Amino acid sequence: MRRKMAAGNWKMNGSAAALDMIDALSSAHSDNACDIVICPPAHLLTAACDRAGNGPVAIGAQNCHAAEKGAHTGDIAAAMIAETGARYVITGHSERRETYGETDASVCDRSAAAQASGLVPVVCIGESLAQREAGEALPVIRAQLAASVPDGSTGDTLVVAYEPIWAIGTGKIPTLEQIGEVHAALRADLVARFGAEGEKIRLLYGGSVKPGNAAEIFGTADVDGALVGGASLSADDFSPIIAALAAS
Ligand code: PEP
């Protein structure tokens, strides 16, 4: 049985005041029914970890460098993130792949560095609209999975997020059949590669998850939770998504 996870990606949003949301989520979801992760911008990581304490909300970063240290101005190493008390890091988000030219290979290196530092990478993969319309979604996503995920990954050391690029921040989502088809294919590939551990690796869906569509998405086979952008910026939106996940 895989433990469900609702992860919020704040992207380049949030301030010290926004961390009040962690208190709101901690008291609303003290039943610990599923894993809750907030990924704020890097400058808030330490304060967010302090605020979360030992409560139900864990903290994650939005990216890490593959190297341990060195001349990488503006970057942050996985061990540095771990030092803040954070437990997760998003790797390979499509915004980083598109804007900074991150490749499957570099995502794999970042994810391996995260695992080596005791962080759990949330590895993002997903097709563009042109790839979806050309009927290439499945081969594209499966190739990304194969090349972005480090060898030796287990259910405890890896989370995968399927995020169709065209669904991120657009209000559009794939049909439930399309989500189910992708998650089934990813599950099969994870099991083929990692054996029994492949059954334990959580598969999140991401892309315009909102309170109004969360329950139907979470009712889809092999969807173990969500990576949420816009709707993770307020407890009013994120809390009902967490509740829908806990009830699924
Ligand atoms: C994301 O950026 O990972 C994301 C899923 O964003 P949104 O929920 O806003 O579509």
Q: What is the pLDDT of residues 170-204, one digit of tens each?
A: 999 999 999 999 999 999 999 999 999 999 999 99
Give me the number of domains the chain comprises.
1
**Interval between CA 232 and ligand 1 midpoint (Å):** 9
CA angle 164, 184, 198 (to 5 degrees): 105
Reported confidence tier of residue 98, pLDDT bands at 50, 70, 90:
very high
206 touches ligand 1 (CB under 6 Å): yes
pLDDT of residue 23: 97
Reported confidence tier of residue 1, pLDDT bands at 50, 70, 90:
confident
State the closest ligand 1 atom to the C-alpha of 228, by its place in the atom list counted from 1.
8
Hey, whose CA ends up nearest to atom 6 of ligand 1?
Answer: 229
With CA atoms as reference, report the closest residue to 203 among 190, 219, 216, 214: 190
230 touches ligand 1 (CB under 6 Å): yes
Rounded average pLDDT over 152-175: 97
The torsion angles phi and psi of 72, rounded to 5 degrees, stand at -135, 75
Residue from 90, 163, 179, 213 to probe ligand 1 pocket by mutation (most atoms less than 8 Å from CB) = 163
Active-site residue list: 93, 163
pLDDT of residue 207: 97
Reported confidence tier of residue 28, pLDDT bands at 50, 70, 90:
very high
State the closest ligand 1 atom to the C-alpha of 170, by its place in the atom list counted from 1.
10
163 touches ligand 1 (CB under 6 Å): yes
Question: What is the pLDDT of the chain when averaged over all its residues?
Answer: 97
Rounded average pLDDT over 34-61: 98
pLDDT tens digits for range 115-141: 999 999 999 999 999 999 999 999 999
**Containing domain of residue 29, as a range?**
5-247
Rounded average pLDDT over 24-51: 97
Reported confidence tier of residue 232, pLDDT bands at 50, 70, 90:
very high
Rounded average pLDDT over 90-103: 97
The pLDDT > 70 percentage for the chain reads 100
40 touches ligand 1 (CB under 6 Å): no
Q: What's the pTM?
A: 0.97
Rounded average pLDDT over 8-12: 98
Q: How far apart are CA 72 and CA 69, in angstroms?
A: 8
**Interval between CA 116 and ligand 1 midpoint (Å):** 27
- Whether 119 and 78 have beta carbons less than 8 Å apart is answered as yes
174 touches ligand 1 (CB under 6 Å): no
90 touches ligand 1 (CB under 6 Å): no
Domain CATH code at residue 11: 3.20.20.70
> Measured between alpha carbons, how far is residue 159 from residues 137, 190, 217, 236, 247 in Å?
20, 11, 18, 25, 21
Residue from 228, 233, 238 to probe ligand 1 pocket by mutation (most atoms less than 8 Å from CB) = 228
pLDDT of residue 39: 98
Q: C-alpha 165: how far from its chain's center?
A: 14
